Protein backbone atom coordinates (compact mmCIF):
# COMPACT_ATOMS: atom_id res chain seq x y z
CA UNK A 1 0.00 0.00 0.00
CA UNK A 2 1.04 3.60 -0.54
CA UNK A 3 2.48 5.54 2.38
CA UNK A 4 -0.33 7.24 4.32
CA UNK A 5 -0.64 11.02 4.22
CA UNK A 6 -3.32 11.45 6.83
CA UNK A 7 -3.69 9.16 9.85
CA UNK A 8 -6.34 9.03 12.56
CA UNK A 9 -5.43 6.96 15.61
CA UNK A 10 -7.84 5.87 18.34
CA UNK A 11 -6.38 4.48 21.57
CA UNK A 12 -8.26 2.71 24.33
CA UNK A 13 -7.77 0.97 27.65
CA UNK A 14 -5.36 -1.64 26.23
CA UNK A 15 -2.55 0.88 25.81
CA UNK A 16 -2.91 2.10 29.41
CA UNK A 17 -3.36 -1.36 30.90
CA UNK A 18 0.24 -2.18 30.05
CA UNK A 19 1.33 0.76 32.20
CA UNK A 20 -0.59 -0.69 35.12
CA UNK A 21 -3.61 1.62 34.92
CA UNK A 22 -6.61 0.18 36.67
CA UNK A 23 -9.06 -0.08 33.79
CA UNK A 24 -12.76 -0.53 33.60
CA UNK A 25 -12.45 -4.19 32.62
CA UNK A 26 -9.42 -5.24 34.66
CA UNK A 27 -9.76 -7.52 37.66
CA UNK A 28 -8.99 -6.08 41.07
CA UNK A 29 -8.52 -2.43 42.00
CA UNK A 30 -10.87 0.50 42.18
CA UNK A 31 -13.37 -0.40 39.51
CA UNK A 32 -14.14 -3.80 41.00
CA UNK A 33 -15.20 -2.17 44.25
CA UNK A 34 -17.78 0.05 42.55
CA UNK A 35 -20.72 -0.33 40.24
CA UNK A 36 -20.46 1.56 36.95
CA UNK A 37 -23.90 3.11 37.46
CA UNK A 38 -22.72 4.53 40.81
CA UNK A 39 -19.45 6.14 39.68
CA UNK A 40 -19.78 6.70 35.94
CA UNK A 41 -23.24 8.17 35.36
CA UNK A 42 -24.76 11.62 36.03
CA UNK A 43 -27.46 9.86 38.09
CA UNK A 44 -24.84 8.22 40.32
CA UNK A 45 -23.19 11.60 40.87
CA UNK A 46 -26.52 13.22 41.78
CA UNK A 47 -27.26 10.37 44.21
CA UNK A 48 -23.90 10.32 46.01
CA UNK A 49 -21.49 13.08 44.99
CA UNK A 50 -19.02 12.27 47.80
CA UNK A 51 -18.61 8.70 46.57
CA UNK A 52 -18.02 9.86 42.99
CA UNK A 53 -15.66 12.73 43.85
CA UNK A 54 -13.63 10.41 46.08
CA UNK A 55 -13.49 7.74 43.36
CA UNK A 56 -12.02 10.18 40.82
CA UNK A 57 -9.74 11.77 43.44
CA UNK A 58 -8.25 8.30 43.99
CA UNK A 59 -7.92 7.59 40.27
CA UNK A 60 -6.26 10.99 39.72
CA UNK A 61 -3.82 10.36 42.58
CA UNK A 62 -3.06 6.87 41.23
CA UNK A 63 -1.64 8.40 38.04
CA UNK A 64 1.50 9.30 40.01
CA UNK A 65 2.30 5.58 40.36
CA UNK A 66 2.25 4.72 36.64
CA UNK A 67 4.54 5.56 33.72
CA UNK A 68 3.99 5.75 29.97
CA UNK A 69 5.14 2.64 28.08
CA UNK A 70 6.90 2.18 24.71
CA UNK A 71 3.56 2.37 22.87
CA UNK A 72 2.87 5.88 24.22
CA UNK A 73 6.41 6.97 23.39
CA UNK A 74 6.22 5.52 19.86
CA UNK A 75 3.05 7.54 19.15
CA UNK A 76 4.81 10.68 20.41
CA UNK A 77 7.67 9.95 18.02
CA UNK A 78 5.15 9.53 15.20
CA UNK A 79 3.72 12.97 16.01
CA UNK A 80 7.20 14.51 15.86
CA UNK A 81 8.45 12.78 12.71
CA UNK A 82 5.44 12.02 10.52
CA UNK A 83 5.27 14.51 7.67
CA UNK A 84 1.54 14.13 7.03
CA UNK A 85 -1.51 14.91 9.10
CA UNK A 86 -2.07 13.08 12.35
CA UNK A 87 -4.97 13.09 14.80
CA UNK A 88 -4.51 11.14 18.02
CA UNK A 89 -7.83 10.42 19.74
CA UNK A 90 -7.95 8.60 23.05
CA UNK A 91 -10.79 7.11 25.06
CA UNK A 92 -8.47 7.12 28.06
CA UNK A 93 -8.78 9.72 30.79
CA UNK A 94 -5.21 9.28 32.05
CA UNK A 95 -2.30 11.55 31.06
CA UNK A 96 0.06 8.86 29.76
CA UNK A 97 0.04 10.08 26.13
CA UNK A 98 1.06 13.56 27.29
CA UNK A 99 3.70 12.20 29.64
CA UNK A 100 4.96 9.97 26.82
CA UNK A 101 5.62 13.11 24.78
CA UNK A 102 2.50 13.63 22.67
CA UNK A 103 1.60 17.31 22.33
CA UNK A 104 -1.81 17.05 20.67
CA UNK A 105 -4.23 14.55 22.18
CA UNK A 106 -7.99 14.61 21.75
CA UNK A 107 -9.47 13.15 24.96
CA UNK A 108 -12.95 12.22 23.73
CA UNK A 109 -13.97 10.97 27.19
CA UNK A 110 -12.37 13.83 29.14
CA UNK A 111 -9.40 13.78 31.51
CA UNK A 112 -8.76 12.93 35.14
CA UNK A 113 -6.53 15.98 35.40
CA UNK A 114 -9.29 18.36 34.41
CA UNK A 115 -12.23 19.81 36.32
CA UNK A 116 -15.58 20.75 34.79
CA UNK A 117 -17.52 23.53 36.51
CA UNK A 118 -21.25 22.83 36.64
CA UNK A 119 -21.96 26.56 37.05
CA UNK A 120 -19.93 28.24 34.31
CA UNK A 121 -19.12 25.05 32.28
CA UNK A 122 -15.42 25.96 32.13
CA UNK A 123 -12.88 23.13 31.98
CA UNK A 124 -9.79 23.81 34.12
CA UNK A 125 -6.58 21.81 34.58
CA UNK A 126 -6.86 20.01 37.94
CA UNK A 127 -4.22 18.14 39.90
CA UNK A 128 -5.58 18.05 43.45
CA UNK A 129 -8.74 16.65 45.00
CA UNK A 130 -12.39 17.72 44.64
CA UNK A 131 -13.97 16.04 47.66
CA UNK A 132 -13.60 19.22 49.76
CA UNK A 133 -15.58 21.22 47.14
CA UNK A 134 -12.86 23.68 46.09
CA UNK A 135 -13.97 26.83 44.22
CA UNK A 136 -13.95 26.91 40.42
CA UNK A 137 -10.81 28.80 39.29
CA UNK A 138 -12.98 30.91 36.97
CA UNK A 139 -16.32 31.68 38.71
CA UNK A 140 -15.40 30.65 42.30
CA UNK A 141 -18.54 28.52 42.68
CA UNK A 142 -17.92 25.25 44.62
CA UNK A 143 -19.45 23.26 41.80
CA UNK A 144 -16.60 21.31 40.21
CA UNK A 145 -17.04 17.76 38.95
CA UNK A 146 -14.61 15.38 37.26
CA UNK A 147 -14.19 16.37 33.61
CA UNK A 148 -14.92 12.84 32.55
CA UNK A 149 -17.63 11.85 30.07
CA UNK A 150 -20.00 9.48 31.85
CA UNK A 151 -22.39 6.93 30.39
CA UNK A 152 -25.30 8.82 28.90
CA UNK A 153 -23.20 11.94 28.16
CA UNK A 154 -21.91 13.12 24.79
CA UNK A 155 -18.18 12.55 24.11
CA UNK A 156 -16.12 15.62 23.26
CA UNK A 157 -15.38 16.97 19.78
CA UNK A 158 -17.37 14.44 17.80
CA UNK A 159 -17.71 16.87 14.88
CA UNK A 160 -13.98 17.22 14.56
CA UNK A 161 -13.50 13.46 14.89
CA UNK A 162 -16.00 12.57 12.14
CA UNK A 163 -14.50 15.21 9.87
CA UNK A 164 -11.03 13.67 10.36
CA UNK A 165 -12.39 10.15 9.77
CA UNK A 166 -13.87 11.29 6.46
CA UNK A 167 -10.60 12.68 5.15
CA UNK A 168 -7.91 10.32 6.55
CA UNK A 169 -6.40 7.59 4.41
CA UNK A 170 -5.48 5.37 7.36
CA UNK A 171 -7.43 4.69 10.54
CA UNK A 172 -5.65 2.79 13.32
CA UNK A 173 -7.34 1.46 16.44
CA UNK A 174 -5.04 0.55 19.33
CA UNK A 175 -6.10 -1.41 22.40
CA UNK A 176 -9.82 -0.81 22.19
CA UNK A 177 -12.54 -3.35 22.87
CA UNK A 178 -14.66 -2.31 19.91
CA UNK A 179 -17.64 -2.55 22.24
CA UNK A 180 -18.30 1.05 23.32
CA UNK A 181 -20.09 3.38 20.93
CA UNK A 182 -19.63 5.87 19.37
CA UNK A 183 -15.90 4.96 19.19
CA UNK A 184 -16.72 1.41 18.07
CA UNK A 185 -18.29 2.90 14.94
CA UNK A 186 -15.23 4.89 13.84
CA UNK A 187 -13.89 1.99 11.77
CA UNK A 188 -17.09 1.85 9.68
CA UNK A 189 -16.97 5.63 9.20
CA UNK A 190 -13.37 5.48 8.01
CA UNK A 191 -14.04 2.52 5.71
CA UNK A 192 -17.09 4.17 4.22
CA UNK A 193 -14.89 7.15 3.38
CA UNK A 194 -12.42 4.85 1.62
CA UNK A 195 -9.52 4.70 4.08
CA UNK A 196 -7.46 1.66 5.11
CA UNK A 197 -8.18 0.38 8.59
CA UNK A 198 -5.73 -1.33 10.93
CA UNK A 199 -6.30 -2.78 14.39
CA UNK A 200 -3.47 -3.28 16.89
CA UNK A 201 -4.73 -5.26 19.86
CA UNK A 202 -3.71 -7.82 22.45
CA UNK A 203 -6.45 -10.18 21.31
CA UNK A 204 -9.19 -10.13 18.67
CA UNK A 205 -11.90 -7.62 19.62
CA UNK A 206 -15.63 -7.51 18.95
CA UNK A 207 -14.84 -5.15 16.09
CA UNK A 208 -11.90 -7.05 14.53
CA UNK A 209 -13.83 -8.28 11.50
CA UNK A 210 -14.49 -4.65 10.52
CA UNK A 211 -10.79 -3.92 9.92
CA UNK A 212 -8.79 -4.59 6.75
CA UNK A 213 -5.97 -5.86 8.95
CA UNK A 214 -5.48 -6.86 12.59
CA UNK A 215 -2.11 -7.31 14.27
CA UNK A 216 -2.16 -9.04 17.63
CA UNK A 217 0.29 -8.53 20.47
CA UNK A 218 1.09 -6.26 23.40
CA UNK A 219 0.79 -2.56 22.50
CA UNK A 220 4.34 -1.97 23.77
CA UNK A 221 5.57 -4.27 20.96
CA UNK A 222 3.16 -3.90 18.04
CA UNK A 223 2.79 -0.11 18.23
CA UNK A 224 6.55 0.71 18.03
CA UNK A 225 6.86 -1.81 15.16
CA UNK A 226 4.05 -0.16 13.25
CA UNK A 227 5.45 3.35 13.87
CA UNK A 228 8.85 2.23 12.56
CA UNK A 229 7.10 0.94 9.45
CA UNK A 230 5.23 4.20 8.83
CA UNK A 231 8.36 6.28 9.35
CA UNK A 232 10.38 3.93 7.15
CA UNK A 233 13.08 3.24 9.73
CB atoms within 10 A of CB 89: 24
Instruction: Please pick, from the candidates 3, 61, 120, 179, the single residue that binds Zn ion as defined by CB under 5 A.
Output: 120
Q: How far is the CB of 141 from Zn ion (least distance, A)?
A: 5
Q: In this complex, which beta carbon is closest to Zn ion, that of residue 136 or of residue 227? A: 136
Instruction: Please pick, from the candidates 15, 39, 63, 136, the single residue that binds Zn ion as defined by CB under 5 A.
Output: 136
Q: In this complex, which beta carbon is closest to Zn ion, that of residue 119 or of residue 188? A: 119
Return all residues near 221 (Cβ < 8 A) that are at least 6 apart: 70
Backbone Cα Rg of the chain: 18
Q: Annotated catalytic residue: which of 107, 109, 127, 212?
A: 109
Considering only the stretches 35-43, 110-118, 127-135, 177-185, report the one whose residues sit in contact with Zn ion under the rule CB under 5 A: 110-118
Report in angstroms the alpha-carbon separations of 171 from 87, 126, 199. Answer: 10, 31, 8
Q: In this complex, which beta carbon is closest to Zn ion, that of residue 77 or of residue 113? A: 113
Instruction: Please pick, from the candidates 139, 179, 192, 216, the single residue that binds Zn ion as defined by CB under 5 A.
Output: 139
Cβ proximity of 199 and 211 under 8 Å: yes
Calculate ∠ Cα 99-23-145, nearest 5°: 75
**119 lines the binding site for Zn ion (CB under 5 A):** yes
Instruction: Please pick, from the candidates 138, 179, 192, 216, the single residue that binds Zn ion as defined by CB under 5 A.
Output: 138
Catalytic-residue membership of 107? no
Calculate ∠ Cα 121-33-47, nearest 5°: 40
> Among 93, 55, 98, 96, which residue's Cα sits nearest to residue 79?
98
Q: How far is the CB of 59 from Zn ion (least distance, A)?
A: 22
**Catalytic residue numbers, as ranges:** 109
Query: Which positions lie near Zn ion, rule CB under 5 A?
Result: 117, 119-120, 136, 138-139
Amino acid sequence: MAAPRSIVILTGAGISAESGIDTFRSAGGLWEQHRVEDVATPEGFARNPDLVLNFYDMRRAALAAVEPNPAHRALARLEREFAGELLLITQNVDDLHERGGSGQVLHMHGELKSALCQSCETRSPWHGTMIERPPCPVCRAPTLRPDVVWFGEMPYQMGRIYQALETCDLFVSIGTSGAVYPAAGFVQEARAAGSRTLELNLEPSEGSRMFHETRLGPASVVVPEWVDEVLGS
